[in-house]
Amino acid sequence: MEFFQNTYVQIWLGVGFLTAMAGLLVDKNMYHMSAGEFKDDEFSVYFFIFTIVVGPIALVFLLSYLLKEAAKDAAEKPARKKATEEFFAKLEANRKAADEREREARESKKKEAKGFISTELDALVREVNNASHETPVDFLQKAASLGGHARLLTLKDVPDDQKRQIISVIRYARVNASRLAATADEKEQVKLIKALSEELEKLNKKYKKALGAA
């Protein structure tokens, strides 16, 4: 019993006990050993005591391992930080590139829309004024396309007089769609009437202020 009364032994066992308890906190099943092929694992008192006895030695190795990991982590930290910064920089570059492609696509569509309006609007207005159409179905298709192109542009992109002309053309086309599309098949007629109705409704809302000043 004098052995266990020795201060150094008591300190050793105390450190071992704390080490064993720390292991238990890390893994509650750490000291469970197999009780047999058909039995559940049971808590092993012997393994627990063994851990207490050798605990201080294990603690030394554990602290050594932790110090090595800390040093390794400190050495790798700049590389990880650089890799992280490069990763986010690449993400930002990709986002900017995607935004630029989207902007270019919008500008391309706007340019196409302006070109269509400048090329086709006057001719469509003349057809409306003359109430004469060499190819009625083609006129209806262009009128529907006119609305689609106009909606791609901002209010500032289209002068008020053109806004009124665009609405006038589409309204005329919608009112007379059934008659003008008589030569087309039934599916095409339905498609044209629906497209013209939608374009007229959307542009009436978009150009409400300009139309109110007319």
Domain assignment present for residue 122? The answer is no
Q: Which of 76, 91, 114 is the last residue of a domain?
A: 76
Domain assignment present for residue 160? The answer is yes
Q: Which of 76, 98, 117 is the last residue of a domain?
A: 76
Query: CB neighbours of 170 closer than 8 A, spacing ≥ 6?
Result: 143, 144, 146, 147, 196, 199, 200, 203
Domain assignment present for residue 191? The answer is yes
Please tell me the predicted confidence (pLDDT) of residue 214: 45
* Triad 145, 150, 156: Cα angle to 5°: 170
Domain assignment present for residue 98? The answer is no
Nearest one of 30, 93, 17 to 59, comparing CA atoms:
17
Distance CA 194, CA 185 (A): 14
Domain containing residue 206 = 133-212
> Do 72 and 138 fall into the same domain?
no
pLDDT of residue 197 exceeding 90, the answer is yes
Domain assignment present for residue 91? The answer is no
> Do 141 and 70 fall into the same domain?
no
87-132: pLDDT as tens digits: 888 888 899 998 899 999 989 999 999 999 999 999 999 999 988 8
Please tell me the predicted confidence (pLDDT) of residue 213: 47
Please tell me the predicted confidence (pLDDT) of residue 121: 93
Please tell me the predicted confidence (pLDDT) of residue 212: 67
* pTM of this structure: 0.57
Looking up tokens 């009112």 gives: 175
Q: Where is average pLDDT lowest: 42-51, 132-141, 164-173?
A: 42-51
Number of domains composing the chain: 2
pLDDT of residue 209 exceeding 70, the answer is yes
Domain assignment present for residue 126? The answer is no
Domain assignment present for residue 114? The answer is no
Establish how many alpha carbons lie within 13 A of residue 127's alpha carbon, considering only the half-sphere containing its beta carbon: 22
- Give the pLDDT mean for 170-193: 90
Domain assignment present for residue 95? The answer is no
Assigned token pair, 54: 């050798």
* Triad 170, 184, 164: Cα angle to 5°: 5
pLDDT of residue 201 exceeding 90, the answer is yes
- Give the pLDDT mean for 56-81: 74
Q: Which of 76, 92, 122 is the last residue of a domain?
A: 76
